[in-house]
Amino acid sequence: MSLLPIIEVPDPILKRPTDRVEQYDDDLRRLLDDMLETMYDAPGIGLAGPQVGVSRRLAVIDISEEKNEPVRLVNPSIVWRSDTIVQAEEGCLSLPGQYADIRRPDAVHVCYLDEYGREQRIEADGLLARCLQHEIDHLDGILFTDHISSLKRNMVMRKLAKRRKLNA
């Protein structure tokens, strides 16, 4: 396994909808493993294809404390959302150090294929539901900053620019 570079805003790949995965092979499984290693190293709890420069509909998630419950999602889609909306802070590896309160459904049902092309389903609430929605948004070219007002988005982008300048 190897670490992949994490793509950051404003790279245009992050704003483009991804292509469906059609081939399930060792290359796909290796890419998903590399994505997990990259996510754990970052550290994060989710990572989508576009965030590592791959415009394919795939993501990895692991919200466990021990980092031993990875979920590999290929061609995921949300098939149900709860009516209950909750607000919580979100961040993103593609916007390092930036956070905002985002309103999302508290629970979702997600259908996806695993790394072998087998159909799977997750019924999630709380943090897992939030993470699934965040990563699936990435696959549709949506960032968490697209869920906030333009004023707040501009503040996040200025903070990101300031952080980059300090780290340069």
Q: Which of 37, 66, 89, 135 is catalytic?
A: 135
Residue 22: exposed, middle, or buried by beta-carbon count in 10 A (0-12, 13-18, 19+)? exposed
Query: For 131-144, b where at least 16 C-beta lie within 10 A, e where not — what string?
Result: bbbbbbbbbebbbb
The Cβ of residue 111 has, within 10 Å, a number of other Cβ atoms equal to 15
Q: In angstroms, rounded to a whole number, what is the distance separating the alpha carbons of residues 104 and 83? A: 10
Reference 128, options 41, 75, 59; nearest CA is: 59
Tokens of 99: 């956070």
Counting Cα atoms < 13 Å in the Cβ hemisphere of 75 gives 15
3-state secondary structure of 148: coil
Tell me if residue 135 is catalytic.
Answer: yes
DSSP state of 41: H
Annotated catalytic residues are 135
